[in-house]
Amino acid sequence: MDVWNRRSFLKAAASVTALAVLPRPLRAQPGASPGFVDVSLEAQQGWINVGGRGSYLYGFNGQVPGPVIEAKPGDHVRVRFRNRLQEATNLHYHGLHVSPSGNADNSFLEIPQGEDLTYDFDLPVSHLGGTFWYHPHMHGSVARQVARGLAGVFIVRGELDQIPEIANAAEPVLVLQDFDLTDSGLPVEPGLMERMLGREGGLVAANGQVNPQILIQRDGWIRLRILNASSSRFYRLRLEDHPLYLIAVDSGALPGPEAHDEILITPGERIEVMVRGARPDGSYRLLSLPYNRGGMGMGMMGSMGGSSSQTTVLATVVYEGQAARTWDLPQQLVRIDPLSSPTVRRSFQLGQGMGMGMGMMGGGGMNFSINGRAFNPNRVDTRVRLGSVEEWEFINATMMDHPMHVHTNPFQVVGSDGLPVRAWKDVVLVRANSRIRVRTEFREFAGKAMYHCHILDHEDLGMMGVLEIQA
Ligand code: C2O
Ligand code: CU
Ligand code: CU
């Protein structure tokens, strides 16, 4: 494995941009009471520096990715949102367990161009700590708006922040995005075939930078929060010579750290990993290894995905300095109570609406669906009872992977032994030609929400359903 030494690293420094620090987190505005997070976000198109050059993208407050918002369980959150795009948009607070109604996390809202909307919601006192995020959810435009840069991290402090061995570590945040830009920095709109596969861009950025540095002290630890904010690209992560100690996924912490050589992170997913500075001083690349997420099952088109055959360098972990002391990770992190047995079981058949024998260019190609139906915001597909526990099976008989996501309540994935895995997730990868079950309890909030594939082109093309939680 080619580890760079400091000398060769300095030579290569021109291709490595500054430290991977995200823009300063937004904070409660002066005068706001404790427990009240009050932030302003403005979506606007403009020239934004991505990968070291001007790109004509969409930013929140002029930044790609958007600013980090930080809150605690029990906080009231207010987001004063201004739409300065030339098109309608809205915001979704991905993974937050908050009300899906009114002016809370309501993905049915549409904010016309030039208009404002103030989002208001309460984080329950029992909310899980974790790495969440915000992004537009304007049906039909989600992939384009997110792929142009609209995504930001929303951190909820929680159980892990009470554990000194974790809380004392430096805490870099990495937002992974990919962009398809012309030489002059203008965004390229994909054609229908690319949308069906899920658009990918050749410019892969972490915090808007190509291969930024992440500093680590020898014998020290970092707690790395990683968000896959790409429309479609999967990242199969490996850090040269370092195990990744997974401590949290999507919506919350794990019962104990798990050492991994590689972790696959699909669109919408988040992980928190601990990395120990236990190797010789030097630079170690955080790589995304080849992964094949399948195709339309039509030979030639299957090769259009783009991410399957290349290794990409996402960032470089650079040793600098020596930690004053070192420590081990505790073997126990949090307790996750089991869900009670499900009273209702449902299945969801994912469809690409492109039957064999249908013409490639036929209208059927547009019809991504769940249980045979494409998304219709005016129809309720699934009615559930508030307080009930259900088991859902996602059945993927297509030739392409579909990472499925459910709003409002996290779930536990059912393992091969039939028991739920103790981890709260809100996106689950349903690989091509496979099926997977998840269990969830509909807690606290009634209202209408959505479930969908988080390959955002698939969502836009109709692979989304409406869930109504009835009190
Ligand atoms: Cu991150 Cu409905 O999405
Ligand atoms: Cu979501
Ligand atoms: Cu999909």
pLDDT tens digits, residue range 309-321? 789 999 999 999 9
Q: Distance, CA 95 to ligand 2 centroid (Å)?
A: 5
Is 200 within the bounds of a domain? Answer: yes
Based on the domain organization, do 70 and 33 belong to the same domain?
yes
Based on the domain organization, do 145 and 168 belong to the same domain?
no
Q: What is the pLDDT of residue 358?
A: 44
Based on the domain organization, do 253 and 360 belong to the same domain?
no
Is 329 within the bounds of a domain? Answer: no
> In the listed set 322, 354, 377, which residue is the last one of a domain according to the structure?
322
The predicted-structure confidence for 414-433, as pLDDT tens digits, reads as follows: 998 989 999 999 999 999 99
Based on the domain organization, do 370 and 454 belong to the same domain?
yes
Is 12 within the bounds of a domain? Answer: yes
Is 330 within the bounds of a domain? Answer: no
Is 25 within the bounds of a domain? Answer: yes
Based on the domain organization, do 22 and 135 belong to the same domain?
yes
End-to-end CA separation in angstroms for the chain: 56
- Which atom of ligand 1 lies nearest, measured to the CA of 452? 2
> In the listed set 260, 290, 322, which residue is the last one of a domain according to the structure?
322
Based on the domain organization, do 101 and 184 belong to the same domain?
no
Structural domain harbouring 437: 344-470
Based on the domain organization, do 179 and 134 belong to the same domain?
no
- pLDDT(398) > 90: yes
- pLDDT(393) > 60: yes
Based on the domain organization, do 315 and 353 belong to the same domain?
no
Residue closest by Cα to atom 1 of ligand 1: 94
Closest to 241 (Cα-Cα) out of 149, 324, 333, 316: 316
Q: What is the pLDDT of residue 166?
A: 97
Residue closest by Cα to atom 3 of ligand 1: 94
Based on the domain organization, do 151 and 187 belong to the same domain?
no
Number of the ligand closest to the Cα of 94: 2
The predicted-structure confidence for 66-82, as pLDDT tens digits, reads as follows: 999 999 999 999 999 99
Q: Within the chain, how many helices (H) and strands (E) appear?
A: 5, 29
The mean pLDDT of 389-410, rounded to a whole number, is 97
Q: Distance, CA 16 to ligand 1 centroid (Å)?
A: 32
CA distance 228 to 405: 13
- Compute the radius of gyration of the chain from its Cα atoms: 21
CA distance 16 to 177: 17
Is 333 within the bounds of a domain? Answer: no
Is 214 within the bounds of a domain? Answer: yes
The mean pLDDT of 175-203, rounded to a whole number, is 96
Based on the domain organization, do 236 and 284 belong to the same domain?
yes
> In the listed set 140, 160, 180, which residue is the last one of a domain according to the structure?
160
Which pTM does this prediction carry? Answer: 0.92
- Which atom of ligand 1 lies nearest, measured to the CA of 133? 1
- Which atom of ligand 1 lies nearest, measured to the CA of 451? 2
- pLDDT(332) > 90: yes
Q: Give the environment of ion ligand 3: residues with CB less than 5 A.
A: 402, 453, 455, 458
The set of protein residues with a Cβ atom below 6 angstroms from ligand 1 is 92, 94, 135, 137, 268, 405, 407, 450, 452, 454
Cβ contact 258:246 at 8 Å: yes
Closest to 314 (Cα-Cα) out of 229, 209, 456: 209
Cβ contacts of residue 243 below 8 Å, gap of 6+? 259, 260, 261
Kind plus residue range of the DSSP H or E element containing 177: strand 173-179
Based on the domain organization, do 177 and 145 belong to the same domain?
no
User: What total of structural domains would you count in the chain?
Assistant: 3
Which domain CATH number covers 374? 2.60.40.420
The mean pLDDT of 121-125, rounded to a whole number, is 98
Cβ contact 347:391 at 8 Å: no
Lowest-pLDDT choice from 2-6, 176-180, 371-375: 2-6
Based on the domain organization, do 18 and 95 belong to the same domain?
yes
Is 1 within the bounds of a domain? Answer: no
